[in-house]
Amino acid sequence: MDKVKFGIIGIGNISTFHAKSICELAQAELTAVCDINPEAFLRIDAAVRSKIKCFTDVETFLNEADIDAVIVSVPHYSHPDIAIAAMNAGKHIIVEKPIAVHKREAERLIAEAAKHPELVKSLMFNQRTIPAHKKIKQMIDNGELGTIRRINWIITDWFRSQIYYDSGDWRASWRGEGGGVLLNQCPHQLDLMQWFFGLPCKVRADVKLGKYHDIEVEDEVNAYLEYADGKTGNFIASTGEMPGTNRLEITAERGRLVFEDGKIEFIRNEIPTSEYCRHTDKKFGICDNWKCEVRFEDNGISAHQHRNVIENVVNVILHGGELIAPMEEGIRGLELGNAMLLSGLKHETVELPLDSAEYAACLDTLIATSRYHKKVVAANDSGDFTKSF
Ligand SMILES: NC(=O)c1ccc[n+]([C@@H]2O[C@H](COP(=O)([O-])OP(=O)(O)OC[C@H]3O[C@@H](n4cnc5c(N)ncnc54)[C@H](O)[C@@H]3O)[C@@H](O)[C@H]2O)c1
């Protein structure tokens, strides 16, 4: 094989980008797409559409399309079933985030994936390819920051209007989507949280349901995290603030790193904090430090996050090597988000590992007792959709 033939299931907002990305890669080819709504095919560029096959049924698509790999890009609840069907049909998969709506479903998908060691399975964690994120991970992993004491991440630049939520019948209900900002907008940062810092052992969150919108799921979260090694974290997210903030602050022994507006700034302590604290003879002093703007190469890579993940999967299929985002790792950020929501709903601290059966039962109750009536309204697609990445 010298080219990977791709199919995409679910041709909505994000898949038009995936179709374009595949067409830009020399060793990939888009040969077929599938959507239950035939009007969705019109979202694909006409010249590309004329060369591919369009299916309206997943089973027929998996049996008949000339494909080696599938991107699963449907609403979240369907990710596990469709990914499992694709693997059973012998296809490599890239599953859109989140891996599933809740941990128990992710466990089911991962158990099925284990039966297919011959296949490449990736998650679309495109933000892992952003050079600044890679740099922060490298600085943490190589000990540049020293022991981390506290993490603050404010992600309130996910503003969404009411019509955004009203534009799809599956959005913003427990039955259709299974969650709000933690499940739709924040899976990237929840994954980065665990990628950078590991998982906490305790989560206490305050969660507001429909605070800014006429929706039944959460649109504001204030979470406090405790880690086994003593560090603490604050994770704040909202889709109701405009303009919002995306600021990650890491306080560590060697100083303080701030990532905001695409720039990483590190104020480096000459002496590690605990050493200075123990040995200084000054009552009110702080040690000398120096401020650095951390340089990292971008070369336009940030603009091609999704293509980077697809290209990585193509390379692994054709030549072997490491995946940027193995599908199985998707359960970790999902578990963190589930724990925040459960804590907020119960008004209690939740310990990790999360009891996946308890969370599934909690979601079932929310669905069974829901009085939310979804109205669907046609939306104007203008605006910067890339903000959703
Ligand atoms: N990685 C990212 O940056 C990113 C960005 C946006 C969306 N997403 C994810 O992609 C997924 C889709 O989001 P979207 O905004 O494109 O949604 P969307 O509603 O715009 O599109 C979903 C499409 O799937 C189709 N569909 C639904 N059920 C289907 C089925 N059983 N078989 C075939 N087609 C089916 C619908 O008809 C629709 O065309 C979500 O899980 C979302 O979280 C990821």
- Give residue-wise pLDDT tens across range 189-245: 999 999 999 999 999 999 999 999 999 999 999 999 999 999 999 999 999 999 999
Tokens matching residue 126: 């495109």
Q: Is the CB of 128 under 6 A from ligand 1?
A: no
Please state the CATH superfamily assignment of the domain spanning residues 128-299+332-384 in this structure: Dihydrodipicolinate Reductase; domain 2 (3.30.360.10)
Q: Which residue has the CA at smallest separation from atom 37 of ligand 1?
A: 37
Mutation probe of ligand 1 site: the residue of 74, 191, 381 with most atoms within 8 A of C-beta: 74
- Residue 330 Cβ contacting ligand 1 at under 6 Å: no
CA distances from 228 to 132, 138, 141, 191 (A): 27, 22, 17, 18
Q: Residue 328 to residues 112, 192, 361: CA-CA distances in angstroms?
A: 11, 15, 23
Could you tell which of 8, 9, 11, 14 is best to mutate to test the pocket of ligand 1, judged by most ligand atoms within 8 Å of the CB?
14
Question: In the predicted model, what is the mean pLDDT of the chain?
Answer: 96
Centre of ligand 1 to C-alpha 13, Å, is: 7
- Asked if pLDDT for residue 387 goes beyond 60, the answer is no
Angle made by CA atoms 300, 303, 308, in degrees to the nearest 5: 95
Query: Does pLDDT of 383 surpass 70?
Result: no
Domain boundaries, the chain: 4-125+302-326, 128-299+332-384
DSSP state of 326: B
Quick: pLDDT tens for 161-185. Answer: 999 999 989 999 999 999 999 999 9
| Contact by Cβ (8 Å): 8, 18 | yes
Quote the ligand 1 centre to 178 CA distance (angstroms): 14
Q: Domain spanning 4-125+302-326: which CATH class is it, in words?
A: alpha beta
Tell me the pTM. 0.97
